[in-house]
Structure 1
Amino acid sequence: LYLDGVPVSRIQRAFSVGAFGLKDQRRLVPTRWSITAVDSMISKNLIEKEIKRKRPINEYRVYEFSYLGNRFVVLLTPSSWKYEWIEAWYPGTVWNPNSQEIAMGGDWEGYRGRTTYASIGGCYYAVRLAVAEFLAEEGRQAGVIAMREIHPSFITPLGVWINRESVREALRRRPVKFDSLDEAIDHISKRFSIRIDEWIRTSVLLKDALYQEKITKYL
């Protein structure tokens, strides 16, 4: 259905009302479960059958989009497929209402993917679908680190779709390109309110990339 051009939202609704499968085994599924299941299945298929067969990009790219008190930044790196999603919630936001500290968290996968459900929830798969669509359409492979900074002005939870659609919009825009990871990170540091060292501390892939870059300088 997806390859035939049926919108993801329609597939998710059909999945939710039990429109797929053998007639006597069909079940109603909570909407949020169906959304995540469809995002996960389609993105995994694109990654395995399209993206991993392509050449990596040859530069660092930074894409950006802001919407309703959310700032989204997507970093693409010249490497084989890997993916990470990180969120940072300011105090007073929906998922961090009582703390005085910024709450940050994320999850990631390497080239071989993952076998457990992402700890950060369905937003992980929603964004993975957005970036997988983009890379499959471009016919390239890349490492992906997608980040979201949520400010107190974002007061209404809108579901995981806001992440998918906002990252899609970011990737439609012209990226800023760099020759090195350090240059890309320096640019990102100027786009977020939260200090870049906090993003690096939270990110598995950024720490790994920075460490690997330092090692290769001595080879």
Structure 2
Amino acid sequence: MRLDEYVDDLDRDESVELRKLAEEKSYAVTEFVDDARTRFDETLSDETLVGSTAPSVFVGRSSYPRVFAGLLSPVGDEDDAADYATTGEWYRHGYGIEDVFRRRTGLLNSTRRSNVDVYDVWDGFVGTQREVAIADRPVDIELGLDGRPGFDLDGTLEDIAAPRGPRISADSARVTENPSVPRAIEKTLSDDDWRAEGAMTYLYRRGFDVYQINNVLSVGALGQGEHRRLVPTRWSITAVDDTIGQYLRGTIRNASSIDRTLVWHADYMGNEYWVVATPGEWEFELIELKAPGSIWNPDPNGRLYMAADSEGYEGRRGYVEETSGAYYAARLGVLEALSERDRQAKVFVVRHATNEYWAPVGVWQIRESIRDAVEGEPVVAESFHGAVSELVPRLPVSMADLRRKSTMVAGIQSDLSAFGAGVGDP
């Protein structure tokens, strides 16, 4: 199918009423929090929670290096605890924003303040948190709670990487079963001389997805002994995406280039993604277009917000300036596809966050959307210039706006021959 025919099939249904940020946020958050409060009131008869099952952990970043270490556990739905952990399964199940809110607000975050230096800590609350993080399935725990959980929604959207449930201080925590720990994770734990980057890559090569690696890194269970620390969850997610991305970039350094321009598309949770790969040595750019009324640009009467970050063949030397963790999540999905095909390319990704994206769910939805897109059958364009020209009418910006913001699009005019089409497999 030709690209122009493909995009013509993607016209939006104009009869669908777009949800407004303020209305949806007020309604949905209140509904889910009320449901969670009722469930906790029915389950927590005293200050001990016995028989809970923890599928995941959380480490806060406030007041670093004295942070809140947390155990995340559903209350009243222990049999389905695994479904409360953020993984790619949420995307494969087609969960929407409401589904994510329901699961996140249903997780009790039992916390203790801890110093991040926990190199040899395997007892107490942090020890329990570590056992939960390294296990290959949700772990049964017993919690001694200090009071009742709080259900306030204080804090700005900027402070919330994804919606979360109530938090409560925990006096104690212990595992009530023998966790099953994968042998590969046991190997990384036992080697105090192994740098964290190498340990993460080792686990990834042995089939562990970034979600489980992130948990293990977050609880300070990776890296050289004296450097093992709790890593705030928000930081560890990006650190894992970046580290695995750099490893994958290394696998394609000497690979042949793709020989034609390919385009993929994905649409999820009010986010629209376009991935354009064109012949040449590795290069990557992410453009984010955030519509007025979307979660990170909430004024419905404001202007479209544009952000961009990029890298060349040698990668980046510092953290991105504008697109934050979205950059590393999107880049990972692209690099996984190229590494699997043993090819390299110049890759241009556009993310359009429409005003249907009314609440933050985390960068996992970006990672999984890109992964899913590039696993599908691409559409072939005549050239990079031709692909961008076809896509611009689908975007809320002009070619001139895109050229001013995008390094790759600005380079179209410099040497069109560099973006010629070919024939052959990607």
TM-score calculated relative to the size of structure 2: 0.49
Residue 40 of structure 1 and its aligned partner are, at CA, apart by 0.5
Note the alpha carbon deviations across 1:45-70, whole angstroms, 9 max, x for none: 1102x111101111111100001111
- Name the amino acid aligned to 1:71: E
Assess, with a 3 A threshold, how the Cα gap between structure 1 residues 215 and 38 changes in structure 2: closer, same or farther: closer
- Name the amino acid aligned to 1:33: W
Larger relative contact order, structure 1 or 2 (CA cutoff 8 Å, min sep 6)? 1
Output the aligned Cα RMSD.
1.9
Which of 390, 410, 413 aligns to 1:207? It is 410
* Larger gyration radius, structure 1 or structure 2: 2
Q: What is the match of residue 210 of structure 2?
A: 8
Which of 287, 293, 315 aligns to 1:92? It is 293
Distance 2:361 2:399 in 1: 27
- Kindly report which structure 2 residues correspond to 1:1-219, keeping only aligned pairs within 5 A, or say none: 1-48=203-250, 50-98=251-299, 100-119=302-321, 120-213=323-416
Gaps of 5+ in 1: none
Gaps of 5+ in 2: 1-202, 421-426
Residue 122 of structure 1 and its aligned partner are, at CA, apart by 1.1
- Of 57-66 and 190-199, the range deviating more from structure 2: 190-199
Distance 1:200 1:35 in 2: 31
- Name the amino acid aligned to 2:272: R
Distance 1:41 1:58 in 2: 28
SS at match of 1:52: coil
- Of 71-80 and 24-33, the range deviating more from structure 2: 24-33
- Name the amino acid aligned to 2:254: R
Distance 1:55 1:24 in 2: 41
Distance 2:288 2:220 in 1: 32
Distance 1:74 1:56 in 2: 16
Distance 1:21 1:193 in 2: 44
SS at match of 1:157: coil
**Number of residue-to-residue matches in the alignment:** 216
Assess, with a 3 A threshold, how the Cα gap between structure 1 residues 102 and 144 changes in structure 2: closer, same or farther: same
Task: Check the 8 A contact 2:270/2:355 in 1, yes or no.
Answer: yes
Identical columns (%):
38
Residue 216 of structure 1 and its aligned partner are, at CA, apart by 9.7
Note the alpha carbon deviations across 1:85-144, whole angstroms, 9 max, x for none: 110001111111236100001100111111111012111111111111000001101001
Distance 1:208 1:73 in 2: 19
TM-score calculated relative to the size of structure 1: 0.92
